[in-house]
Amino acid sequence: MSPFLLTRTLPVDATDAALRADVLDGLTRQPKTLPPKWFYDAHGSDLFEEITRLAEYYPTRAEREILIARAGDIAAASGARTLIELGSGSSEKTRHLLDALPALHTYVPVDVSESALTGAAQALLAERPGLSVHALIADFTRPLDLPDSPGPRLVAFLGGTLGNLLPRERAEFLSAVRARLVPGDGLLLGTDLVKDEATLVTAYDDAAGVTAAFNKNVLTVVDRELGADFQLDDFAHVAVWDPDNEWIEMRLRARRALTVKIRELDLVVTFEEGEELRTEVSAKFREEGVREELAAAGLRLDQWWTDTEGRFALSLATVD
């Protein structure tokens, strides 16, 4: 079997410390916020997988359509010998790229979940006996120390996850990626596109209530990990389109005035009836805006591909 290396760049207690910091900061500010990364415990990940199969939720299908149709073009344009995937998860979508990259030597999946990385690596190595996999347990929003690997290197950031970052955070993230690239390397970026409000809101507020359960799961995580006493029925799931910022916001709206105790933080949080806790921003993009954000980070947009309905885009950028 081909080499498999697993490197931990996060301290073992980094996740606990980050959750404590995010909850303390987010629930003591106005308006209250929590980062979307805390949706994804095991149950939250299962719920998201269910969301991707819903009729209302188009981004996963649209991106997969582009990957299947354009994997050969991406391979030809990048010539990548190393593929680095940020937030790799199960690496399921990446298989289309792996199959299309004839010169690929090394795959570097980056994720905070050790179990997701090892499971994906075992499956990939069983299918691809010539591939070298060097997995990183890391938070891609922090500076990354990438392993030595042959170039050209292609960094893949798929799923529209860029949209979960606020504009300043996006600028910092793209600049950090650029700092780790050399001439000949590239960035493959997935971005959901601006479209009509009804389609967008429905994608984040499905009729079956799966997204509502996913949204409320962040409260379950805080209850379990920090000894809080959130009651899920006290909150309603809300998805709204912000036309000025061109992003969807997911929120949890208090159904009544209530008080929540978070034992591990020695914190008491009050909510007024109707008060909202923002749990996710999901920005939608236009080609020119993506081009400008990449250029500001020192990257040049070279290729732009969309699905047949123009709902989602993959772009390939190189060092400017």
Burial 101-125 (b: 16+ CB within 10 A, else e): beebebbbbbbbbeebbeebbeebb
Let me know whether 112 and 186 are in one domain. Answer: yes
Let me know whether 107 and 162 are in one domain. Answer: yes
302 within a domain of the structure (yes/no): yes
Let me know whether 93 and 239 are in one domain. Answer: no
What does the pLDDT average to over 104-122? 86
Let me know whether 37 and 100 are in one domain. Answer: no
Percent with pLDDT over 90 in the chain: 77
4 within a domain of the structure (yes/no): no
Q: Is 154 exposed, middle or buried (0-12, 13-18, 19+ CB in 10 A)?
A: buried
Among 58-62, 140-144, 210-214, 283-287, which is the least confidently predicted range?
Answer: 140-144
Assess contact for 317 and 297: CB atoms under 8 A.
Answer: no
Chain-centre distance for alpha carbon 289: 19
Let me know whether 51 and 164 are in one domain. Answer: no
* E-assigned strand segments in the chain: 4-8, 32-33, 82-86, 106-111, 132-137, 153-157, 186-192, 235-242, 247-254, 258-262, 267-271, 276-283, 299-306, 312-319
What integer pLDDT is reported at residue 113 of this predicted model? 78
Q: Which residues contact 86 (CB under 8 A, 6 or more apart)?
A: 110, 140, 155, 156, 157, 161
What does the pLDDT average to over 84-100? 85
Let me know whether 33 and 139 are in one domain. Answer: no
Q: Return the structure tokens found at 282.
A: 């999901």
**CA-to-CA distance for 144 and 164, rounded, in angstroms?**
19
What integer pLDDT is reported at residue 92 of this predicted model? 80
Let me know whether 86 and 169 are in one domain. Answer: yes
pLDDT of residue 28 exceeding 50: yes
State the average pLDDT for the chain.
93
Among 120-129, 184-193, 196-205, 243-252, which is the least confidently predicted range?
Answer: 120-129
Which range of residues forms the domain containing residue 35? 28-56+203-283
12 within a domain of the structure (yes/no): no
Structural domain count of the chain:
2
What integer pLDDT is reported at residue 90 of this predicted model? 73
Assess contact for 250 and 229: CB atoms under 8 A.
Answer: no
Model pLDDT for residues 38-52, shown as the tens digit of each residue: 998 889 988 999 999
Question: Which CATH number characterizes residue 171's domain?
Answer: 3.40.50.150
Dmax (CA) for the chain in angstroms is 60
Assess contact for 281 and 164: CB atoms under 8 A.
Answer: yes
pTM of the model: 0.93
Residue count (the chain): 320
3 within a domain of the structure (yes/no): no
Q: Given pLDDT bands bounded at 50, 70 and 90, which one contains residue 2? A: low
Q: Which residues contact 48 (CB under 8 A, 6 or more apart)?
A: 39, 40, 214
Decide: helix, strand or coil at residue 135: strand
231 within a domain of the structure (yes/no): yes
Model pLDDT for residues 279-290, shown as the tens digit of each residue: 999 999 999 999
18 within a domain of the structure (yes/no): no
Q: Which residues contact 66 (CB under 8 A, 6 or more apart)?
A: 305, 306, 307, 312, 313, 314
What integer pLDDT is reported at residue 75 of this predicted model? 94
Let me know whether 96 and 163 are in one domain. Answer: yes
pLDDT of residue 270 exceeding 90: yes
17 within a domain of the structure (yes/no): no
pLDDT of residue 1 exceeding 50: no
What integer pLDDT is reported at residue 277 of this predicted model? 98
Q: What backbone torsions phi and psi does residue 18 show, to the nearest 5 degrees?
A: -65, -40
Residue (of 53, 312, 37) closest to 206 by Cα position = 53
* Cα angle 196, 202, 203; round to 5: 95
Model pLDDT for residues 150-160, shown as the tens digit of each residue: 999 999 999 99
- The label of the residue with tokens 């499971």 reads 119
What does the pLDDT average to over 124-129? 84
What does the pLDDT average to over 297-316? 98
What does the pLDDT average to over 241-260? 98
**CA-to-CA distance for 241 and 204, rounded, in angstroms?**
10
Let me know whether 45 and 189 are in one domain. Answer: no
pLDDT of residue 320 exceeding 80: no
What's 134's DSSP letter?
E
CA-CA-CA-CA dihedral for 177, 181, 183, 188, to nearest 10: -50
Among 36-45, 51-60, 248-257, 305-314, which is the least confidently predicted range?
Answer: 36-45
36 within a domain of the structure (yes/no): yes
Let me know whether 190 and 254 are in one domain. Answer: no
Let me know whether 69 and 102 are in one domain. Answer: yes
Let me know whether 82 and 209 are in one domain. Answer: no
Percent with pLDDT over 70 in the chain: 99
What does the pLDDT average to over 130-153? 88
What does the pLDDT average to over 255-264? 98
